[in-house]
Chain A
Amino acid sequence: MKSLLSKSLIALTLLTGILFFFLPIYASTIFALESRDGGYTLDPIRRAFENEEITQSLLLSLRISGFAVLLTLVVLVPAVYWVHVVTPSLRKSLEFACLLPLVIPPIVQGVGFLYSMPSFVKSTPYSLVFAYAVLALPFTYRALDAAFASIDIKTLVEASQTLGSGLWRLIFRIIIPNIKTGLFASIFLILALVLGEFAYASLLLWDTFPTVLAVAGMSDASVAVALSILSLVGVWLILNAISTLNRSHRGQLTMGVR
């Protein structure tokens, strides 16, 4: 009796969860794709891609995320490497610094950003690159830190040096292949963040994909909703790609003894 009760409770909870997450998505999809005659049409999506403003903003957001990825790779990867190999005592401090964007509200960060940036940086939408690289720090740091922690990077570096390897071979043959999972995770997380971030871009008055989407929603709701769903699906695919990657590399990246 008891097990039947707990089973039905579990089923009920699951059902509620599924409804909670999928009902809005389902409703939005119906709303966006239902045509006036009662059938379904992909017309809103077509209209969205014909809209210059939307495609331009999408391209801008993709470029911004590209630069944010580049900035993260150039600055954060060496920093995480450094605290793992050279000064492990600073690891806690770096972690603390990288988690700060989680606890400081975006509005405070945005205003601080406005006041601290020189005007030649503020005057282009690419100034958002810095904001997004910082905003993504809690996630990118975690991903990279975990990747470095999963291998004995110090010994691998020393082994490669004793074998006569130079810096480039060390970086491209040893370090990058062994932290690949962390790198991909960081890249995808930044991409997902930039394609969904609204507060910063809106505050700094730049027309990125999310802000343009919000404006478009006021005039043509079904276009905005269709694009929201597309970006939701896109981000979901990206997150899936990360976890698939993690799974397929886990065996190879752990240094197990059997």
Chain B
Amino acid sequence: MAFVAFKQVEKKFGGNLALKGFNLDIETGELITLLGPSGCGKTTALRILAGLIPQSGGTVHIDGTEVSKLPTAQRNIGMVFQSYSLFPNLNARANMEFGLRARKANSALIKERVESLLEITGLAEHQSKYPHQLSGGQQQRVALVRALVTQPRVLLLDEPLSALDAQVRVQIREEVRRLQRELGITTIFVTHDQEEAMSISDRVGVMRDGKLLQLASPQHLYDKPDHAFVARFFGTVNEIPTRLVTPTSIQLWRSEVDIAGASGEPVGSALALIRPESIRIAKAAHGEKAKVVAISFLGPITSVEICPLSPAAADVKLPESIKVVVSSQQAMDLRVGDEVDFDFDLKSALITYQS
């Protein structure tokens, strides 16, 4: 059995089902991210595993033992919260020692554990400061150390970076990943930020409406999303109205493309979901005609929006616009209003049938 397991977990808030038949298996030492829009149930799942709220049905297991009915204090977990949760009356060091003191550990052990983590994290110079004397980033790092000092079986991170500014976020998420790898601690990270999820996770579970839609490595989720929702939520995607040629292929202008995944009932028209980097554009080449409608410079790459002059197949709507990524070098020749040619560099496209 997996190290951490959710089995058919349900959670009702009043009449609302926040989690529906939620199943998740996490292996030892893995960092899993639960990703989804607010209200998708990701934090609920985390809080159920922590024992902070009871589940309405199903069971949760840690290291082969069912913990569903165990109080939080006895689950041996570490948790970092979204809001600043350091105890304001204790300084950074006393905050870090809190968990071990609660377990009545002897002072030699407390000293050894706290000091080894202070060394790894470089927080030693801040140890005698009170929470209000620390920056937001420092507070969350102290909170992380506080959660790790007890050597918990599972580390739970409930959007710990969302209150921080962009630069500190990147810095701390890398530190989280480094510490997690060094200590080999099984970790569940909850976020609504897809970039965060992509950058630090072994596997990402995309959630919607209390259900886990797909659980896979970030690369797999990006390249082979099972659901249109996953494709849209995880990275940018172009939605091109088109038509089926055969039950397993669609028409994209002059080419015919095999269908990789499809949801819904097969009918005549469909929606092709294509990543920006799967489309190439060039001036005066052989391809479909389009007009450049917007150009935004993003450093090494440039995002170009084009508007095709004809729809992808007969009798379907013209796509509103198609986003393409080009090197900024290539973008230097492009102006809004230019006519360009585009074609596809894809083995398959994700199709969602229009109902």
A interface residue numbers (CB < 8 A to B): 151-152, 155-156, 158-166, 169, 173-174, 177-178, 180, 251-258
Q: Answer yes or no: B87 CB below 8 A from chain A CBs.
A: yes
> Are B131 and A169 in contact, with the CB atoms below 8 A?
no
Chain B hits for A173, CB < 8 A = 87, 90, 98
Query: Which 7 A/B pairs are nearest by Cβ-Cβ distance?
Result: A163-B99, A177-B89, A161-B72, A165-B102, A162-B79, A159-B85, A257-B136
**A178 vs B139: C-alpha distance when bound (angstroms):** 17
Q: Are B73 and A164 in contact (CB under 8 A)?
A: yes
How many Å lie between the Cα of A152 and that of B83 in the bound state? 8
Contact partner, A163, options B51, B133, B150, Cβ 8 Å? B150
Is the CB–CB distance between A255 and B131 below 8 Å? yes
A–B complex contacts, Cβ < 8 Å, 7 sampled? A151-B88, A158-B85, A160-B87, A160-B98, A163-B150, A164-B102, A164-B103
Q: In chain B between 48 and 74, which residues have their CB closer than 8 angstroms to a CB of chain A?
A: 50-52, 71-74
Number of interface residues of B (CB under 8 A): 39
The residue from B50, B83, B84, B90 contacting A162, defined by CB atoms under 8 A apart: B50
Instruction: Return A224 CB to nearest CB of chain B, in Å.
Output: 44
The number of inter-chain residue pairs (CB within 8 angstroms) is 96
Contact indicator B130/A252 (Cβ below 8 Å): yes
A210 to chain B, nearest CB (A): 37
Q: Which residues of A contact B136 (CB under 8 A)?
A: 257
Known A151-B88, A178-B89: A163·B135 in contact at CB below 8 Å: no
The answer for the CA separation of A174 and B132 in the assembled complex, in Å, is 16
List residues of B whose CB falls within 8 A of some A CB.
50-52, 71-74, 76-79, 81, 83-90, 98-99, 101-103, 130-136, 139, 143, 146-147, 150, 156, 163
Given that A152-B83, A252-B130, A254-B132 are contacting pairs, would A163 and B88 also be in contact in the complex, using a CB cutoff of 8 Å?
A: no
| Nearest-Cβ distance from residue A70 to partner chain B, whole angstroms | 23
Q: Which chain B residues lie closer than 8 Å to A156 at the CB level?
A: 85, 87
In the complex, chain A residues whose CB is within 8 Å of the CB of B72 = 158, 161-162
A257 to B140, CA, bound (A): 11
Q: What chain A residues lie within 8 Å of B139 (beta carbons)?
A: 257
**A248 to chain B: closest CB distance in Å?**
13
Q: Which residues of A are found within 8 Å of B101, using beta-carbon distances?
A: 169
Which residues of chain A have C-beta atoms less than 8 A from B52's C-beta? 158, 161-162
Contact between A257 and B85, CB atoms less than 8 A apart: no
Taking A159-B85, A163-B150 as known contacts, 19 extra A-B pairs with beta carbons closer than 8 A to each other, sorted by chain A number, are: A152-B84, A158-B81, A162-B72, A163-B99, A163-B102, A163-B146, A164-B76, A164-B150, A165-B99, A173-B87, A174-B87, A177-B89, A252-B89, A252-B130, A253-B88, A257-B84, A257-B163, A258-B133, A258-B134
Scoring A152, A162, A174, A177 by chain B CB atoms within 10 A of each residue's CB, the highest score goes to: A162
What is the minimal beta-carbon distance from B128 to any residue of chain A, in angstroms?
14
Q: Is the Cβ of A256 less than 8 Å from the Cβ of B132?
A: yes
**In angstroms, how far is the closest chain B Cβ from the Cβ of A134?**
31
Chain A residue contacts of B83, Cβ below 8 A: 152, 155
The residue in A152, A155, A161 that gathers the most chain B C-beta atoms within 10 A of its C-beta is A161
- A19 nearest CB across to chain B (Å): 43
Are B102 and A162 within 8 A (Cβ)? Answer: no
Chain A residues with Cβ under 8 A from B150's Cβ? 163-164
With A160-B98, A165-B73 already in contact, the answer to whether A258 and B88 are too (CB < 8 A) is no
Q: For the complex, what is the distance from the CA of A160 to the CA of B73, rounded to whole Å?
A: 8
